Structure 1
Amino acid sequence: MADWVQNLMDSLGYLGILLLMIVENLFPPLPSELIMPSAGFAASRGDLNLLAVIAVGTLGSVLGTLPLYYIGRAFGEERLVQWADRYGRWLTLSGQDIRRADDWFDRHGAGAVLFGRLVPGIRSLLSLPAGMSEMPLPKFLLYSALGSGLWASALAGAGYLLGENYDQVEQYLGPASKVIVAAVLVAAAVWFLKRRKALGVRN
């Protein structure tokens, strides 16, 4: 995949970075941990400008958040609450749980979006709850841009410094993202089992 990403950037330049970072948010198996270091390496060769690479990578990342944001916004809290009240018992999930989660996101959503954009494995998924909680679009774009800018800067800078060894960034961060996703799934499973046990005791 590294060769394909590099070839695309060689042929399309900044447009290639933009398109890849948009797609990365919708198709996580295409990781930014590979795209941006590759772009940083291209900048180290003098083919691209490092600041422009970071700016275009940030823009692509922010644009890539919008489809899931709008899907979450279209689905909405009330529709999800109705679904949970009707079918959520199979997942030990109630409408009240949805409202609590939405209240939490209303309180901490800005920080979740900002710092979540720096976490491999979940950075692409935060757009959905942001849309569902109806976070104002300007606020969502601002914090997405800040987090994405920091992430793009770190990755492109690493690729610039590592040169031909830029793919080492993905080798280290790739496994980390899998660990984070696994930890989130385990935490969700533990919550599910505890919730189910608590409901069983009440009944």
Structure 2
Amino acid sequence: MIAYIFSLIVNFILEVINKGGYLGVFILMALESCNIPIPSEVVMPFSGFLVHQKIFSLVVLAVIGALGNLFGSLVSYFIAFKLKDGVKGFFEKSKFFYHDYIKAENFFNRFGEKSILIARVLPIVRTYISFPAGFFKVNLFKFSIYTFFGSLVWSYFLAYLGFYLGENWQILEGYLRRFDYLILIVIVGILCYYIFRKIKEIKSRS
């Protein structure tokens, strides 16, 4: 079932790029950064293959991909920005989570800009980093700069691999998907540890 759904997504991506060209790439990369499951690991390598076919330019393609990511990231940023006060009020009323909220806020005040740049070249994380950035009100100009250049590196890297592999570009998806799973396992592990720690803390106070 999952494989079938993924094949539908891949076919959709290929059709959008074939019909829309650079605009199609922009839209797909923007959708990915709006947290819609459109994997750039398919979008950019296939587009890189089209560079191999002399349909696209590698540099222009990377810039278009980065601009698409920036546009989608700004949408996510402003959604989180608008939700900040309501969510903050919830944490302020929670005696168990407010301390963690303050620590997260202090982290982003200190390292938020650098973490955005690093996150932009990490699968899975790169898609969702805009939410905490908007939530903790990272400087919008710096957020945009780091997002663009981090996404430019990511887009160029994937497009170049697709260009290099040519008709074999699809083998990339399998390798990159394994790395996605590794990142996901790490994230789930961290969340499980956090939940276990909070349960233990609640029991110790009761």
Q: Same fold (TM over 0.5)?
A: yes
Give 1:93-108 correspondences, 5 Å limit. 93=97, 95-108=98-111
Q: Which residue of 2 aligns with 1:85?
A: 92
Aligned residues: 198
Q: 1:199 Cα deviation (Å)? A: 2.9
Among 128, 138, 147, the alignment partner of 1:144 is: 147
Asked if structure 1 preserves the Cα contact closer than 8 Å seen for 2:35 and 2:128, the reply is no
Is 1:190 aligned with 2:193? yes
Q: 1:179 Cα deviation (Å)? A: 2.5
Asked if structure 2 preserves the Cα contact closer than 8 Å seen for 1:22 and 1:61, the reply is yes
Among 127, 131, 149, the alignment partner of 1:128 is: 131
1:142 maps to amino acid: I
SS at 2:123 equivalent? coil
1:39 maps to amino acid: S
Among 36, 41, 47, the alignment partner of 1:39 is: 47
SS at 1:123 equivalent? helix
Asked if structure 2 preserves the Cα contact closer than 8 Å seen for 1:40 and 1:158, the reply is yes
SS at 2:54 equivalent? coil
Partner Cα separation in structure 1 for residue 36 and residue 190 of structure 2 = 21
2:198 maps to amino acid: R
Partner Cα separation in structure 2 for residue 12 and residue 141 of structure 1 = 25
Q: Say what the alpha-carbon RMSD is for the aligned residues.
A: 1.5
Q: Which residue of 2 aligns with 1:29?
A: 37
Partner Cα separation in structure 2 for residue 8 and residue 74 of structure 1 = 31
Is 1:63 aligned with 2:66? no
Q: Which runs of 5+ in 2 are unaligned?
A: 1-8
Partner Cα separation in structure 2 for residue 8 and residue 42 of structure 1 = 13
Asked if structure 2 preserves the Cα contact closer than 8 Å seen for 1:121 and 1:178, the reply is no
Is 1:171 aligned with 2:174? yes
Deviations 1:25-82 (A, max 9, x none): 2244210000000110001100111111111011001111011100111112x43232
Moved over 4 A (4+): none
Partner Cα separation in structure 1 for residue 172 and residue 26 of structure 2 = 20
Q: 1:198 Cα deviation (Å)? A: 2.3
Asked if structure 2 preserves the Cα contact closer than 8 Å seen for 1:72 and 1:131, the reply is yes
Q: Which runs of 5+ in 1 are unaligned?
A: none
Asked if structure 2 preserves the Cα contact closer than 8 Å seen for 1:120 and 1:177, the reply is yes
Q: Which residue of 2 aligns with 1:162?
A: 165
Partner Cα separation in structure 1 for residue 173 and residue 23 of structure 2 = 22
SS at 1:13 equivalent? helix
Q: 1:144 Cα deviation (Å)? A: 0.4
Q: Which residue of 2 aligns with 1:111?
A: 114
Partner Cα separation in structure 2 for residue 4 and residue 140 of structure 1 = 30
